């Protein structure tokens, strides 16, 4: 047999021990993967032939000195090296990259001993820290021949398979796996029968056929195969270089009988012959296509030369080629590519300086730059996403839970559509910043789009290209800026959309925010469908009333109510103070303020559902301290109860603003506003007259009707409340709600109107510590209302001790924090008759 001289320092099939170079550096890596040795004269041609690659995965001897160690020479316990994507067979020599801590320590343990190591394959290659259950129990005892420490910190070891072995049990798992093993002694094959000889010949013939299909000279290679006469060794030689899945290779390794193992290898060879035949056919077809492409290329080159001789601008040709190249690489769908190609042909036939050519060139630039296929890879680590959300925002458990639910479903179903969320709440509660945190937790790009005051439908759908200066809509612009097809797009202030003669943007958003339609959203400028189904749209609004019903129906509404005093204090301590310290040029620890004083700032200097005024006040404190530092004073600067009023001025809101006594005819109601809950004083006075009812305070129609209903209830139940039944004939009634310049309306003032009316007619004052909310019916039922949490927050912040709410709103009390419910007594009422006994002053 003719063989090229082996120039490798390690002779194939033999074990040559060499100590590692102590000068090389150590460092961890992430995985253990096989690396193909470089092609050269020192590698047998058979490896390249059977793998079809220029870098073989294994290295075998030529039949010379290929005996393994005696079973008695192999220790009963060996360190375990877990590998993935490969199964090591006997006599196989291959390099491995080692980087995991346990694997590195296993290699070190083997090198410090007799260099034996047990190589086991992982069942699941994605497991980073495999346990014994993650490993196959049959593997190969290997010898570490050389070790090299790479510049990037990984170890590169050269191992040779020596003998198959089966794990009895794992004796240790830390700091690395150690296994008690049993070497598998291969039974000797006696005189071969004719059937067995046929099997060996078939294996050789199938190997030769694979070589011929791949166009590789097989004379020297077949000489090597013909020299190996033992069935088991021949099976190992061929199996280690076949393209097989790990499971199939592991079954061959676990097969103990040499002839049965060769039968399994022969079956794999038959499959490989089929694949190689089909591959050869495909390559022949591809070659025909390449010949045609070459012919077209030569013709195009000649056409370019003719154009150059005619004096055509070379830059224009280069620009056309760049456009064609960009279209090919853009990943457009077939129907979109058809439209783009059509426009490109039109451009080629136009004069470069024409105005229409400029329009088409700009259009093609937009088409090329859009991310038709590019997707950001979602961060599907639920725990990490939860940590990011908790780090960025305090509380808001419902929102965080919804995002984590989306991530969980996305992890299980990669084809799910993006959700359409709508955060509704007062200003300053963190709706916009929450969108940024969601994008960061998902690992996606973020784009914020303000819709406040938008009146033109073209802002959403884009302008048609017939207009001068036409541009795509802001949705497509956002996709282009993000450079990915699945960003997080925040549609801010969606409740403030307008409409006029130019169209209705809210109607245009119906397609954008509908998961059943937005997979083929058509922008007027592009005039081709674009898939928005992977985009996560997050809308924000202060109130839902101004959002059209069909648009509201397409969104999943998540309400973000105002914060309690304790929540504001915690958020101020955790987020606002550190941010303001940095923004005002101070360092951590240079300003000191206790939690008690933070709560005092929140209580006495702000009265809102959000945190914007809190941030302004904290910013004022930081600026005062920054000035002291700039003037030469040294910190830390401490805010105390004595200097707080000097720094911020007198308190803007005091708890004693609540009236200690209410005159007859005055009751305190609770109202909901876009900026949180408010207390509403309703005043009723009587005077001699003929039963006329006067309503003042810029009341809306709903409140006017509630006042009429309250008067009817008082007249119908005058005897029950001790009211003169003839009062409607002798007295005029005037109902007034202070702050007359502020419009007031809504279905939650009925209970308060009835209470104030009864108080005036009976000349009995109402308890000053009581606030109430609820609508009434003429039958005396108390009907449910909305905004319970905001209203109770307002009652607590104004020092109220008791609140009356409709019984049907009892379910909303689950949203009230326990620490807030401890500070106020909440009573539920079903009928109007229950209100007056609770409301009148004892």
Which residues are catalytically annotated?
A: 748, 791
Give the residue from 481, 505, 479 showing the smallest Cα distance to 493: 505
Give the residue from 839, 842, 427, 425 showing the smallest Cα distance to 669: 839
- Distance from C-alpha of 39 to C-alpha of 573, rounded to nearest angstrom: 64
- Distance from C-alpha of 187 to C-alpha of 23, rounded to nearest angstrom: 45
SS3 readout for 302-367: HHHHHHHHHCCCHHHHHHHHHHHHHHHHCCCCHHHHHHHHHHHHHHHCCCCCCHHHHHHHHHHHHH
Residues 6+ away with beta carbon under 8 Å from 437:
388, 389, 392, 393
- Distance from C-alpha of 221 to C-alpha of 224, rounded to nearest angstrom: 5
Instruction: Say whether 495 sits in a helix, a strand or coil.
Output: helix
Tokens linked to 560: 């973000």
Work out the burial of residue 297: count CB atoms within 10 Å of its CB; fewer than 13 is exposed, 13-18 middle, 19 or more buried: exposed
Give the residue from 155, 132, 159 showing the smallest Cα distance to 146: 159
Question: How many Å is the maximal CA-CA distance in the chain?
Answer: 130
| Pairing label, strands 676-688, 666-673 | antiparallel
Taking CA atoms, 651 is separated from 594, 647, 648, in Å, by 18, 11, 8
- 568 contacts 611 by C-beta, under 8 angstroms: yes
Taking CA atoms, 463 is separated from 344, 476, 532, in Å, by 20, 12, 19
HSE at residue 330, side-chain half, CA atoms within 13 A, is 25
Taking CA atoms, 56 is separated from 8, 60, 106, 160, 193, in Å, by 15, 11, 26, 14, 33
Instruction: Say whether 102 sits in a helix, a strand or coil.
Output: helix
| Pairing label, strands 77-83, 178-183 | antiparallel
Residues 6+ away with beta carbon under 8 Å from 177:
79, 80, 82, 102, 106, 132, 135, 170
HSE at residue 599, side-chain half, CA atoms within 13 A, is 9
DSSP secondary structure string for all residues of 722-746: T--TTHHHHEEEEEE-S-TTS-B--
CB atoms within 10 A of CB 283: 14
- Distance from C-alpha of 575 to C-alpha of 573, rounded to nearest angstrom: 6
Give the residue from 3, 125, 121 showing the smallest Cα distance to 60: 3
Instruction: Say whether 781 sits in a helix, a strand or coil.
Output: strand
Question: Residues for the chain: how many in total?
Answer: 842
- Distance from C-alpha of 297 to C-alpha of 291, rounded to nearest angstrom: 10
Task: Name the strand (E) or helix (H) holding 203.
Answer: helix 194-213
Cis? peptide before 585, omega within 30° of 0: no
CB atoms within 10 A of CB 640: 12
């Amino acid at each position: 047999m003719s063989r090229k001289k082996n120039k490798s320092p390690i002779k194939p099939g033999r074990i040559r021990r060499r100590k590692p170079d102590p000068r090389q550096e150590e460092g961890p890596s992430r995985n253990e993967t096989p690396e193909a040795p470089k092609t050269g004269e020192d590698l047998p041609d058979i490896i390249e032939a059977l793998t079809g690659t220029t870098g073989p995965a294994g290295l075998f001897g030529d039949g010379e000195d290929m005996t393994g160690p005696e079973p008695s020479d192999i220790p009963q316990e060996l360190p375990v090296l877990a590998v993935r994507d490969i199964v090591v067979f006997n006599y196989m020599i291959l390099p491995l990259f080692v980087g995991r801590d346990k694997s590195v320590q296993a290699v070190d343990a083997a090198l410090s001993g007799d260099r034996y190591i047990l190589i086991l394959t992982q069942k699941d290659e994605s497991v980073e820290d495999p346990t014994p259950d993650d490993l196959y129990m049959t593997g190969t005892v290997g010898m570490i021949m050389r070790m090299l420490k790479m510049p990037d910190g990984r170890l590169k070891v050269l191992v040779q398979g020596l003998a198959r072995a089966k794990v009895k049990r794992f004796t240790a798992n830390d700091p690395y796996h150690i296994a008690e093993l049993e070497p598998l002694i291969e039974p000797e094959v006696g005189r071969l029968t004719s059937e067995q000889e046929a099997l060996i010949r078939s294996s050789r013939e199938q190997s030769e056929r694979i070589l011929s299909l791949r166009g590789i000279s097989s004379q020297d290679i077949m000489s090597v195969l013909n020299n190996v006469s033992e069935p088991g060794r021949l099976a190992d030689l061929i199996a280690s270089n076949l393209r097989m899945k790990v499971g199939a290779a592991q079954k061959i390794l676990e097969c103990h009988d040499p002839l049965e193992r060769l039968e399994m290898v022969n079956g794999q060879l038959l499959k490989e012959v089929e694949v190689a035949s089909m591959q050869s056919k495909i390559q022949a077809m591809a070659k025909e296509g390449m010949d045609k492409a070459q012919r077209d290329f030569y013709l195009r080159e000649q056409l370019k030369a003719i154009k150059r001789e005619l004096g055509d601008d070379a830059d224009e040709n280069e620009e056309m080629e760049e456009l064609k190249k960009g279209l090919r690489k853009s990943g457009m769908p077939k129907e979109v590519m058809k439209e783009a190609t059509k426009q490109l042909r039109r451009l080629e036939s136009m004069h470069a300086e024409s105005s229409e050519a400029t329009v088409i060139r700009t259009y093609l630039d937009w088409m090329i730059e859009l991310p038709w296929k590019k997707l950001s890879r979602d961060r599907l680590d639920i725990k990490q996403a939860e940590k990011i959300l908790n780090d960025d925002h305090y509380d808001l458990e419902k929102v965080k839970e919804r995002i984590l639910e989306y991530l969980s479903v996305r992890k299980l179903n990669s084809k799910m559509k993006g959700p359409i969320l709508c955060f509704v709440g007062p200003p300053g509660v963190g709706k916009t910043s929450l969108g940024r945190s969601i994008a960061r937790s998902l690992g996606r790009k973020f784009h914020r789009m303000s819709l406040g005051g938008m009146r033109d439908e073209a802002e959403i759908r884009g302008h048609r290209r017939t207009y001068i200066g036409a541009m795509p809509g802001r949705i497509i612009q956002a996709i282009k800026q993000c450079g990915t097809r699945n960003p997080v797009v925040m549609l801010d202030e969606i409740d403030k959309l307008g409409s006029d003669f130019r169209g209705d943007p809210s109607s245009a958003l119906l397609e954008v925010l509908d998961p059943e339609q937005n997979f083929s959203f058509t922008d007027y400028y592009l005039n081709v469908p674009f898939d928005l189904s992977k985009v996560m749209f997050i809308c924000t609004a202060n109130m839902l009333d101004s959002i059209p019903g069909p648009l509201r129906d397409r969104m999943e509404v998540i309400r973000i109510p105002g914060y309690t005093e304790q929540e504001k204090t915690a958020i101020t301590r955790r987020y606002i103070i550190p941010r303001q310290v940095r923004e005002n040029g101070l360092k951590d620890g240079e300003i000191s303020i206790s939690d008690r004083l933070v709560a005092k700032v929140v209580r006495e200097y702000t009265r809102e559902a959000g945190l914007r005024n809190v941030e302004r006040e904290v910013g004022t404190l930081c600026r005062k301290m920054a000035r002291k530092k700039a003037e030469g004073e040294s910190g830390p600067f401490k805010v105390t109860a004595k200097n707080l009023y000097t720094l911020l001025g007198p308190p803007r809101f005091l708890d004693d603003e609540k009236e200690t006594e209410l005159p007859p005819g005055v009751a305190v109601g609770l109202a909901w506003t876009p900026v949180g809950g408010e207390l509403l004083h309703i005043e009723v006075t009587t005077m001699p007259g003929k039963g006329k009812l006067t309503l003042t305070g810029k009341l809306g129609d709903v409140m006017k009707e509630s006042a009429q209903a309250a008067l009817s209830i008082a007249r119908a139940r005058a005897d029950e409340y001790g009211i003169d039944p003839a009062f409607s004939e002798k007295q005029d009634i005037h109902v007034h709600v202070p702050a007359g310049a502020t419009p007031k309306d809504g279905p939650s003032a009925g209970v308060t109107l009835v209470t104030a009316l009864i108080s005036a007619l009976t000349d009995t004052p109402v308890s000053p510590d009581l606030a109430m909310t609820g609508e009434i019916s003429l039958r005396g039922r108390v009907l449910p209302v909305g905004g319970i949490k905001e209203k109770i927050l307002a009652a607590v912040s104004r020092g109220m001790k008791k609140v009356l709410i409709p019984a049907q709103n009892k379910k909303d009390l689950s949203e009230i924090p326990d620490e807030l419910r401890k500070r106020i007594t909440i009573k539920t009422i079903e009928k109007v008759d229950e209100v007056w006994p609770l409301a009148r002053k004892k």
